[in-house]
A and B are shown apart, each in its own frame.
Chain A
């Protein structure tokens, strides 16, 4: 497995899904166990990656490079650098925990776990692909299981949410497809002289054709890619699919959606748009900062207005992804490192929040914030876990969210002072909606209606505690993750900002 560690991580879940397909659907326990095992392997390999990853180089590591479709020069080209490693680790961890968190799924168990594993494969593939075509393929492949997971196992309006999610994301990827074909036809493979999908060749400006060197064209391509990725992040005004999808999706799918899928938008910007079109990135950076600020404030205000707990968390995701955009726009070391760290931290924190919402939804069968009250007395352990997650979300010092947000503001302040000051308001609003929710759900007199709600179970704790420990550790000492990405990201800044 040493040689092809990335391929094993990507395709082992597919093998798991294939095995599940042959297990009779009544044997639910076996199906779940196989799924957990199939998701555990990438997690173990992820630990191996974490240990063996060379932190001193910006070059791609664990590279696998094969010809795939020769007539179009499409390659099976996988590799990771400091930008992708944190995302791969996050994906492997969350996927495994989500399989455990889905233990209660009783409707069509077989299909659920098979699709979940395919989803995991596609996600890891997106983060490892270094061939634009391969990247696009994994990106699209991710859509299908997600669509079914929302559409079959979702809430009452699942059909609407699933189609909306699918069409929005597909509209974005279609723009990406066009930009991809444009790059393909205008980037020269320096070895053969033909067209290429190789991202590394695309990043080398010397390989660009005269057409691709024209400023207008570069701006146009940047915008095409940007809209494609913006839908995924999602950036206002392309965000409307997100609340619908989150509210209807089952808990574990929400976790993946917020924890991993949203990051693909910002990952795409950093992996593809920034290095291939660095001048356009600089040209767009102020606008990106504005978009970031809008996301932060708009997401936070919308979150404040929500009465559905899950919708609140969904809007808080929009707000928190705004910080990532803000950090990216600065193009300073602190800003970009902070942004990628925020991607990782938001993945863990929002996963905790969604899992916690799922815990109460499983018991009370509703998520109305105003329908609860006094849960702190009824479910003390649950209250403390959820509060921990919520405090991490508002960026309490000592927890991981604080570190990345602080880094982002340190990075942005010297570049876009006004935008940074306005965005900082988001932290206050964030504290407001979180604390207000906390108060309405957990504080106050004990609610008779919920006297028989059991506290959080061992299995649920098993999914929450590892993430909680990570949040706490990275809050105190963020270097393990920062070390991973520092060199690659500083190299990226050098490429972009010169």
Chain B
């Protein structure tokens, strides 16, 4: 950052347009809500949808410039664009789900909309970050917004607890991360990814500092993606937050976390492999196993999905481990390394999208089924006989559950297949076997939801109402889950192309 070049403002602005739209949109929504008294509250949701759609339009139509912008603070390209699409789509669905609930309960949370946009902005920055400082900025923008989203249901104790818990633990993890940044900065003499790469390449950086620094940063990322042992917050926060926020957290934050983790792993690959590969392997196995085993005994569907999201973080970590493995595997492995890294990255991207689809479909339905605050509407037993009361909702949730369990022809199966075949290709057959056994265990608890919906008689107090827009949106996701499960080729190919651009 020493040699500040005169930036080409036109290019910079054009490149940053999607970010500016989201940021400006967030402010606009906030101001509109405060100033325009005559506005009906639900019109805010249209404004949000308009902002998000215009991001897609701008990104698709104008060939936004690629490469580093803002003096290398951000790196724009297919990778960041891919994640922007993902976050925006998740945002659109979250807006639909949330608005459905606001409409039903007549209880608007106008602050929800700008916060959602700010969270998305943070994620976009995170996926495009090319400097540890931008990583931190993105991380904090995203986190601060989600703390409030999770805890912002006024007068609802579980929600407040969730928000507070997330805030406290999130604060800790940010501190760890910052400490790690400090060490890495000390070791490499810079925070830019390019500078770090150069320092690592020349071998001038002192190893102890680097090891410590990257380890501390892994703690920070591990917290965001709910990696054991930094997962403690997940069940409480997922359970306490309203379902539309939980769905957003489970999909978008996980995707953002893995986006930056992937960048980070590729950046520090050889060094990280020597220092942290064994640890990451053990943690991946623990994450899957603990998540799946604890999920077996949950009676609350949101808690169950929280533990399941921990388990899925474990599968995703397997992909990360597979990417790291060749660096340790000797010359024969090194020859295949590029292929494994590319396939591993593509598999991870595919998994994140598939995971977002199925989790959003599930939370979309759970969101509709939840009752007023204070009433525990998320007990699985309340879903009894849902297939007879609301066949579309039940079928959607069933598809989501089967996909999460990894049963063909759903996208969850293809996603797991891609990940596990990369793991096998990297020579980690025992890990693949553990992963497969884990996904076998998981089938039991996912199926239990289906059993309750389809095979139990209707319980007395089950919720009877319905929100057609949400159910239709979730149903569309269920269709996509099956479609991508049968026709994964085009999408997987796309993920490969996206990934190939960033692998350095």
A69-B489 contact given A144-B402, A174-B440, A181-B424, CB 8 Å threshold:
yes
Please, how many residues of chain A have a CB less than 8 angstroms from a CB on the other chain? Answer: 31
B284 CB to nearest A CB, Å: 18
| Closest A residue, CB atoms, query B405 | A170
Chain A 236-268 interface 0/1 with B at a Cβ cutoff of 8 Å (1 = within): 000000000000000000000000000000000
B406 CB to nearest A CB, Å: 10
| Closest A residue, CB atoms, query B443 | A170
Task: Supply 25 A–B pairs (Cβ within 8 Å), ascending by A.
Answer: A68-B489, A69-B489, A71-B492, A71-B496, A72-B421, A136-B408, A140-B408, A141-B409, A144-B402, A144-B407, A147-B447, A148-B454, A152-B454, A152-B455, A162-B451, A162-B455, A163-B451, A166-B443, A166-B447, A171-B440, A174-B440, A177-B436, A178-B436, A182-B424, A184-B421
A151-B451 contact given A141-B408, A170-B443, A178-B432, CB 8 Å threshold:
yes
Binding site for B on A (CB under 8 A): 68-72, 108, 136-137, 140-141, 143-144, 147-148, 151-152, 158-159, 162-163, 166-167, 170-171, 174, 177-178, 181-182, 184-185
B132 CB to nearest A CB, Å: 34
A159-B407 contact given A71-B492, A174-B440, CB 8 Å threshold:
no
B79 CB to nearest A CB, Å: 19
State in angstroms the CA–CA spacing of A160 and B433 once bound together: 27
Collect the chain A residues with CB atoms within 8 Å of residue B496's CB.
71
State in angstroms the CA–CA spacing of A178 and B429 once bound together: 9
Collect the chain A residues with CB atoms within 8 Å of residue B437's CB.
174
B326 CB to nearest A CB, Å: 15
B493/A71 in contact, CB under 8 A: yes
Please, how many residues of chain B have a CB less than 8 angstroms from a CB on the other chain? Answer: 27
* Chain B 438-491 interface residues, beta-carbon cutoff 8 Å to A: 439-440, 443-444, 447, 451, 454-455, 488-489
9 interchain residue pairs of minimum CB distance: A69-B489, A140-B408, A137-B408, A151-B455, A174-B436, A181-B424, A159-B455, A174-B440, A181-B421
**Does residue B420 face the partner (Cβ distance < 8 Å to A)?**
yes
B233 CB to nearest A CB, Å: 31
State in angstroms the CA–CA spacing of A163 and B441 once bound together: 12
| Closest A residue, CB atoms, query B432 | A178
A87 CB to nearest B CB, Å: 21
CB within 8 A of A170: which of B420, B424, B440, B454? B440
B489/A158 in contact, CB under 8 A: no
State in angstroms the CA–CA spacing of A93 and B492 once bound together: 39
State in angstroms the CA–CA spacing of A471 and B449 once bound together: 43
B424/A185 in contact, CB under 8 A: yes
**Does residue B425 face the partner (Cβ distance < 8 Å to A)?**
yes
Chain B 343-376 interface 0/1 with A at a Cβ cutoff of 8 Å (1 = within): 0000000000000000000000000000000000
19 further A-B contacts with Cβ under 8 Å, apart from A71-B492, A163-B444, A163-B447, are: A69-B489, A140-B407, A140-B408, A140-B413, A141-B408, A141-B409, A143-B407, A148-B454, A151-B451, A151-B454, A151-B455, A152-B455, A162-B455, A167-B444, A174-B439, A177-B436, A178-B432, A181-B420, A181-B424
Collect the chain A residues with CB atoms within 8 Å of residue B439's CB.
174
Collect the chain A residues with CB atoms within 8 Å of residue B489's CB.
68-71
State in angstroms the CA–CA spacing of A182 and B2 once bound together: 52
| Closest A residue, CB atoms, query B416 | A177
State in angstroms the CA–CA spacing of A344 and B362 once bound together: 43
Collect the chain A residues with CB atoms within 8 Å of residue B425's CB.
185
State in angstroms the CA–CA spacing of A430 and B445 once bound together: 40
State in angstroms the CA–CA spacing of A166 and B446 once bound together: 12
State in angstroms the CA–CA spacing of A181 and B447 once bound together: 26
| Closest A residue, CB atoms, query B423 | A181
State in angstroms the CA–CA spacing of A182 and B432 once bound together: 11
